[in-house]
Each structure stands twice: as C-alpha cells, then as structure tokens.
Amino acid sequence: MDTRTFGGRLGGKAVVLYASMFGATEIVAERVADELTARLGAPVASRDITWFDPADLAAYDLIVIGSSTWNVGQLPSDMSVKLPQLAQLDLSGKMLALFGTGDQLGYPDTYLDAVGIIADELAGTGAKLIGSIAIHDYTFSDSLAMRDQLLLGLAVDEDNEPELTQARIVAWVDQLLAELSASAPDVETAPFAVAV
C-alpha cells in the first residue's frame, strides 16, 4: 500500500467542530469526521462547539469547523458565542477547513453566509484556510462565503440535495488531504499518513 504524508507540527491531530440548529450540521460533521478517520487511520472527533474549550485547539493541526446559516445570513447562537473566543487564538501553523449547511433554494441570497462570517473572523488567527470549492454545482445568487467564484468550504444542502452529500464529503476530504500533502514542510517527517 502506498502512503503519502502531509503537514502539521503537533503530531497530526485533527478535530471537527460544529454548530447545529436542527441537527443537519451535526450529522454532516460526524460524516466528515468518519471520512477523515477512515483516511487518516486515526480517530478524528466530531465535537459540538458549545461544549468545546477553544484553548484545546492548540493540540490540533487540522481544524475543521462547520456551521449552519440561520435565518437570513446569521450564525447559530452557539457559534456567535464561541467565534469571538476562537478569533483571539494564535492558530499559526495550523490548517483550517470550513463547511456549511444551508438551503440554497429557500435562501439563495444568504447561502452559507455563516462560512464567510467564520472565515472573516478567523482570518487574523494565522491559520491557513484550505478546502475552497467551485460553485458550478450549486444554485444560489449570493453568499458571504463566495470569493472569486469559489466557496470558502464544503457546501451541503440537506434540504434540496441530500443524495449528493456523501459524494461531496468524500471529494472534499480528498481535496483537503491533497492540500495538506502539498503544504507538508517535510514530507519524510510530516505527521499525517494517509492510505491511498
């Protein structure tokens, strides 16, 4: 079996954090964590951000954060509380990946706004944002998560396209692993090993 390695400086630990209003984001977070666990060969926890101490992020190299977009472009209340705490952290040298759940048909002008808000708030932490995706497979008119015809993270629409969710997760995790591999400072000693 071939292996490839990718970067990080603290032992290659990853975590998936989420803020969910009605459960869809929690389910997607668990599926992302399961896919990362399978690919990395090491447990990746999925944790509700409500009960997560932001200081614990010091132990992780890959930080995945997911959120729903509430109402017309707002953060869930739990994310609103934790985001200022996260924004105060020094996450230099860490990789940050974002995902969001939303309804692109019901809220086409605020689809995945939470992802854009989180990305903007965490821009000053020093973490490197990875995992942007092309918008061509989606139908929405505007999003705070859109930059140069890319969404700043995985977009999941469980309301209108649940049959696409698993394939999108798998493709996105593949992309994350490729981006992490490309950013490895020293491929021989990088802490993540991925079976391919």
CB 94 within 8 A of CB 127: yes
Distance from C-alpha of 86 to C-alpha of 79, rounded to nearest angstrom: 10
Model pLDDT, residue 196: 30
Residue with tokens 């490895």: 184
pLDDT of residue 169: 96
Mean pLDDT of the chain: 83
Protein fold of 3-191:
Rossmann fold (3.40.50)
Contact 190, 5 (CB under 8 A): yes
Q: Average pLDDT for residues 95-106, to the nearest whole number?
A: 91
Q: What is the pLDDT of residue 189?
A: 28
14-19 and 45-48: which strand pairing? parallel
Predicted local distance difference test score (pLDDT) of residue 101: 92
